[in-house]
Amino acid sequence: MRVLSIVGNRPQFIKSGPLSVALRKAGIDEVVLHTGQHWDDELSQVFFDELGLPEPRYRLDLHTADSAAMEPGIRDALDRERPDWTLVYGDTNSTLAGARAAAAAGIPLAHVEAGMRSGDLSMPEERNRIEVDRIAALLLAPDERSRDTLAREGVIGRTEVVGDVMADVAFKLVSFARERSQILDRVGLEPDGYVVTTIHREANVHPERLARIVDGLNRIEEPIVFPAHPRTRERLAGLGPHVHVLDPLSYVDMLALTSQARVIVTDSGGLQKEAYWFGVPCVTARPSTEWVDTVEIGANVLVDDDPERLAAAVAGARMPKERPELYGDGRASERVAAALLGSLPGS
């Protein structure tokens, strides 16, 4: 069996690491295509180096998030390789471009992280999720909630609950990251004595919203570490002296930093999950989230861009006493590989 895996941004590189290993162990030939949606070395190449990812056979190097610009290059690779499956991750424009190209090429599509919904159609990521799930022949859902969502929507593909592949790498590397990383010493921090923030989504880097989020961060008394996405950093202004703005970090440094924080403030879906796995309370600068369980349990608070609510949520952030297992047990990648093999005609 041959699979063409399409990756384009930081979370997808992370998710693809353990899955590439599982595919090899299952005897599946993986061909990797990097769209170039993230092209900065600190958001791209460092993850291939750190996580031991296979070198992409195809690099589109487009330096764009425009899905229409990605489709021809993906289609060319699909026509050349004629894989049994096209594999896409999550909800980015690279995901959408891969799904559309696979449909045009007549190649079955498998979607990792299928069925996640925030209910907010103003988010491009939400629209991407819905369209990709309608195209996919194999929907690899992280939990029962997402499977039920897909059933309600009447998708035509086969759904399997496999867990979250990001959990696989986070569980395996967090202890290693804490031992090896020097990030806390470099910034002068003590475990449980600081706040980590990441803001990168398109809606949140608009000047008015970003200014309100910055206002909220300035009301927090604790030290804040802010590894800033390039497009966020160029628009940041007015942060207080207690906010340490850093360049994007390697995955090992980021794991060490986030897993030992007192609170995480973010608009990242991946960090909302990782915060939960690490036992760190999360404050989410969005009006909605696809990771609804974390909010229902009380481990995550949605504050949108309200400065007062943001600061108050950080001050009062605590993890709930009961923390049930969410989004997998660290073996999702093995289940994805088995699902791909089991979904071949005649299997």
2-164+328-342 topology per CATH: Rossmann fold (3.40.50)
pLDDT at 234: 86
Band (pLDDT 50/70/90 cuts) for residue 42 is very low
Average model confidence (pLDDT) for the chain? 91
In which residue ranges of the chain is CATH 3.40.50.2000 found? 2-164+328-342, 169-315
Catalytic residues: 200
pLDDT at 233: 87
User: How far from chain centre, in Å, is Cα 61?
Assistant: 21
Average pLDDT for 18-23: 91
pLDDT at 250: 84
pLDDT at 18: 87
pLDDT at 184: 97
Q: Is the pLDDT assigned to residue 20 strictly greater than 50?
A: yes
DSSP string, 254-297: HHHHHHT-SEEEES-HHHHHHHHHHT--EEE-SS--S-HHHHHH
**Span 169-315 CATH architecture:** 3-Layer(aba) Sandwich (3.40)
Q: Is the pLDDT assigned to residue 252 strictly greater than 60?
A: yes
Q: Please write the tens of the pLDDT for every residue from 151-201.
A: 999 999 999 999 999 899 888 889 988 999 999 999 999 999 999 999 988
> Is the distance from CB of 166 to CB of 193 less than 8 angstroms?
no
| CA–CA gap between residue 303 and residue 82 (Å, rounded) | 46
CA distance readout (Å), 111 to 123, 172, 325? 19, 23, 23
Q: Is the pLDDT assigned to residue 279 strictly greater than 50?
A: yes
User: How far from chain centre, in Å, is Cα 30?
Assistant: 21
